[in-house]
Chain A
Amino acid sequence: MSVDAATVRKVASLARIAVTDAEAEALVPEFNNILGWIDQLAAVDTDGIEPLAAVIPNHLRLRDDVVTDGNVRDKVLANAPEAQHGFFAVPKVIE
């Protein structure tokens, strides 16, 4: 599969990474190079093979329903670029 600059811009937008048009253009050959290379997997016969679910056989453990955490607001907000009145602050969102 091969991509164009519009696709690169769309992917960048989905990934929330700002790109200039020039950057998008420059990424096109890089993308196609990498995608062209990983496309070789399409030729591998995987009929009847289940996608790997767990690398090492292991079971998902479940924890007990006990409050063991929280009440650490200072820690939660310690690194915030902008915190006000106990909240994180972000540019106003208009729904």
Chain B
Amino acid sequence: MVSVYQLEGATGAWEVVIGLEVHAQVTSEAKLFSGASTKFGAEPNANVSLVDAAMPGMLPVPNRECIRQAVRTGMAIEAEINRWSRFDRKNYFYADLPQGYQISQLYHPLVGEGVVAIEPLERDGPGEAKKVRVERIHVEQDAGKLMHDQHPTRSYVDLNRSGVALMEIVSRPDMRSPAEAGAYIRKLRAILRYVGSCDGNMEEGSMRADVNVSVRRVGTEELGTRTETKNVNSVRFVMAAIEHEARRQIAVIEDGGKVVQETRLFDPDKGVTRSMRSKEDAHDYRYFPDPDLLPLELDEAFIAECRESLPELPDAKRDRYVDALGLTPYAADVLTADVETARWFEALLVDAAAAQNAPQEAVAKAAANWVTSDLFGALNRLGREIGDSPVSPRQGAALLALVADGTLSGSLAKQVFEVMLETGEDPAAIVEARGLKQTSDTGAIEAEIAKIMAANADKVAEYRSGKDKLFGFFVGQTMRAMGGKANPAVVNEVLKKALDG
């Protein structure tokens, strides 16, 4: 994919070079090095052990699940898994860091080089997925939280998050536009959620990105000085921060200045980044191997378990939907973009195939159509996620079966679905109770058609003299007379015979 995103400065065109360090909270019950809970939203300092508070003499013991989830994540991006890694201390002083150091991995990370394929942007037309290289994933501790607005002269320290396991997923500077960066984060989040290693909830801070941005003149190769904008917590903000930061850097350079390598903060209210002076002297982190922890050595059984426990990942699933289920690439994309959607869709497929006594391939298209139009439309209106859809996959499958066997027409199915959304009742019960069953009773249809033709003799004459457009008029009249329940195919057939007869 050719980069088309350029920024016009006063002196020419500029290209943006973007790398992201995504911090993803590992899904686990307990913290990385202590037995305290990771639950979100607890009372201040409730989910804190003496280890998390860095009491004298306290020691870290690593949580296997956190290591396992990071390894599985690495496997999901086809990364090298390092059989030998170790933890280092990153030393700096801050009130949210009780130990005075963060246990992280610098020299020997758990996961090495991997790759994340992002979909080609619509603007660029169809093409190969772009591959963003991931340099490494390492495991580290989260910090606590400072609250500045509770007291006039004090900040308050809450250590509930202190010690929660994070994966830091470090990309190469492979992205060239805010849109690509957004696509990368969305794809990464999808992968993490498929793997189950992170819930991807950016509002609660389970995923946040440090955004490294530099600019260079179009046509040049050398990388410019980069800035790091810390802890940006939504896809939209990441894109906005890149845009702002790139324009700011271009302005600095074009004004004859130099971009300073520094840590910056994104202000979502103003949409700007600003220098973070509070961290300015923290650049010398004095990393060294944590002497409280031995090297982490993974055995083959552990690795094998991690691999076997991996689910089908979004790219593979998408390909299968297209190749084996015959879905359109668009539908496959939409249905696999999020693990919850894919899970729901696959449950629907199983139930629909069973209900129609047909193979999944045979029911897939109709199911995909119904999900991407009817179900998504309804969820959108209701402001609900697919995870709490008022209609279950089994109910959806029952509805599809009623359409497939001719009990319901498309428009009847829509009516029934509305009732399902409102009442949560099964479609068969709704059809029964409200008499919404489609009729193929030729006698009844013939009787209504006869009445309509009698009442509209002039139109019958016009039709017979060649104005076949009027056919639609007769269909509409018949359907109305039948209360919308007539099988359209039967109506067409009978009507044709009567008019042509």
Contact = CB atoms under 8 A, between A and B. Distances in A.
A and B touch in the complex (CB under 8 A): yes
Interface of A: 13-14, 16, 53-54, 58-73, 75-77, 82, 84-95
Given A66-B35, A76-B48, A90 B67 contact: no
Q: Chain B interface: which size bin? A: 35 or more
Given A73-B48, A92-B151, A87 B37 contact: no
A60 B293 contact: yes
B297 interface: yes
Interface in B2-54: 28-30, 34-37, 43-53
B155 A65 contact: no
Interface stretch (B57-65, B215-223, B315-323, B393-401): B57-65
Given A53-B295, A93-B278, A62 B64 contact: yes
B146 interface: yes
A67 B281 contact: no
A67 B47 CA distance: 10
Contact of B148 (A75, A88, A92): A92
Interface in B113-162: 146-148, 150-159
A85 B156 contact: yes
Given A72-B50, A86-B44, A90-B95, A59 B61 contact: no
- Residue of A59, A66, A67 with highest tally of chain B CB at under 10 A: A67
A70 B47 contact: yes
B265 interface: yes
29 contacts: A53-B86, A53-B295, A58-B294, A60-B297, A62-B62, A63-B64, A66-B29, A67-B36, A68-B30, A68-B35, A69-B36, A70-B34, A71-B46, A73-B44, A73-B45, A76-B55, A86-B44, A87-B44, A87-B45, A88-B157, A89-B151, A89-B156, A89-B157, A90-B155, A90-B157, A92-B148, A92-B155, A93-B148, A95-B276
Contacts of A71: 46-47
B36 A70 contact: yes
Contacts of B150: 85, 87
Contacts of B47: 70-71
B473 interface: no
Nearest to B279: A95
Q: Main SS of chain B's interface residues?
A: loop
Contacts of A86: 43-46
B406 interface: no
Contacts of A60: 62, 293-297
A89 B63 CA distance: 30
Given A66-B30, A95-B278, A84 B43 contact: no
Interface of B: 28-30, 34-37, 43-53, 55, 61-67, 86, 93, 95, 146-148, 150-159, 265, 276, 278, 281, 284, 286, 289, 293-297
B156 A76 contact: no
B289 to A, nearest CB: 7
A17 to B, nearest CB: 11
Contacts of B64: 62-65
B217 to A, nearest CB: 34
B34 A91 contact: no
Which are the 8 A-B pairs with shortest beta-carbon distances? A70-B36, A68-B35, A65-B65, A69-B35, A62-B64, A87-B156, A69-B49, A88-B157
B154 A73 contact: no
B50 A14 contact: no
B49 A87 contact: no
Contacts of B95: 88, 90, 93
Nearest to B44: A86
B30 A91 contact: no
B52, B53, B286, most chain A CB atoms within 10 A: B53
Nearest to A71: B46
Contact of B46 (A14, A73, A94): A73
A91 B154 contact: yes
Contacts of A16: 93
A58 B295 CA distance: 9
B95 to A, nearest CB: 5
A63 B157 contact: no
A56 to B, nearest CB: 9
